[in-house]
Chain A
Amino acid sequence: MSEAFGYVYPNHEVFWGILIVIYPYFVSIITGMVTIYAISEFWRKELKPLEKMILVGTFPFVLSALLPLLLDLGQPQRAFEIYVTPNFSSVMAVFGIVYLTELFAILGELWFVYRVDFIWWSQTERNPIKRLIYKILTLGVYDISKKAIEIDHKVIKVLTFVELIAAWCLSYVSFLFGVVKSNPWWNTTILPVSFVFGGLAAGGAMVLILYLLFSSYYGKRVDEKIIDIISNYVFFFLLAAFALEMINTILYAYKEDIAWAVIRITSTELAVPMAIAVIGSLEALLFLRYSRMVSGALKQIMVVIASISVLIAVFALRWNMVIGAQLVDYSLRGYVSYTPPLFGKEGILAALFVIAAPFVIMAIVNYFLPPYEKEVEETEISRPTTSVSEA
């Protein structure tokens, strides 16, 4: 039977490759991290110690979210056209504006959160170049009165809100990558919701990993309570995403409608990503659940394993959405298969480069805006803090 496939509709091609998978993936991670940030800002004051770290972690992802799209463009030098000739009736085109909102919100957030530190560093930093940079970043205002800091906190709240909305809108744009293809399996009302929940889980997992990394880099004690709170969120986000996907699929199987035909046709092509998504999610759910009952190194190992599986499983889900949606012909008479090439602009190496980019940027951001102080450093003058109660 398979002989007949592959050429029945030969004009059918996979245009969106692995890079377009990475784009919604990054956006998911951004959405998740921003949401955890908002949670720490609005509800769970216990997560406050993480706020700078989450910002330092999110900012590089926001910066590099455009990278896969740029690499995918045939003529990257024309990318600015979306601003020069804006089209407000296209959600895809409005993406540029949403992205800028997100970028500026997070830049503003960084500035307000680090403002007191800038002032402190501009006085104490030994490296003259760094000191100059901090001096410029203070914008010439050295006001650390209680009132000024209170205003900072209000502004930060507003910016967090803007950032949260922008991040969720970005998510919306990126699941369009699946819906635009409009094959029955992916053309469902549940997709946006399960997409966002998957993203929240991925972002939370990224926060967990970064928290452990930053803590060991700065020699800080890992606070198990923080890990518990976040892994609890990740657990429920992942559970929601997983349950929604499953309900959807079971509903299709029960109705045996057109979408079920699509699932059956593609199941051979998508077997590996689907298996990764299902097994990865289940395993992560188990580990997250039981990590709460242990403590110490074992807990950290379990959380790291779970977080990595969440990240991989969500990547597999994005793969299913972007690539999978393109594999089936609209007439359901055949499918094409897709293996990314190793080299070239859209190859696996380029994809690895893109995935590594945020971490490289993160190291640079961390150099200029360290979220914590090294535990060994000791200064005589007591350092001003950003929190009102202590100031």
Chain B
Amino acid sequence: MVELQRNKTFEPSGVQGKLKIVLHDVSGTLIRALGTIERRGYDYRDVHCTQRVDGDFDLLVHIEDTGGPSNLDTLCKQLERLYNVVSAEKVGRRKHAERA
């Protein structure tokens, strides 16, 4: 049988995480960020976006990997490379619980 090539390079499968992404209000801003997440091998579990008073956006995304080489640090850097992305960071579970 020929198997699917799901190459786990260094992180185990089922990587989940929550990202907080701050975006500039420019054309294509949301699609660009969400598209990058999807193309880099993740599914969304939850997406929440609000516009801030300064016009930028806060985007909270809960994601899960789809079997590619998952590495959330790399994903954050790939997001930060986008010109409309101000910042992208992992939001730790504990931190999130504290805030809630």
Q: Are A and B a genuine interacting pair, yes or no?
A: no
Q: Which B residues form the contact surface with A (CB < 8 A)?
A: none
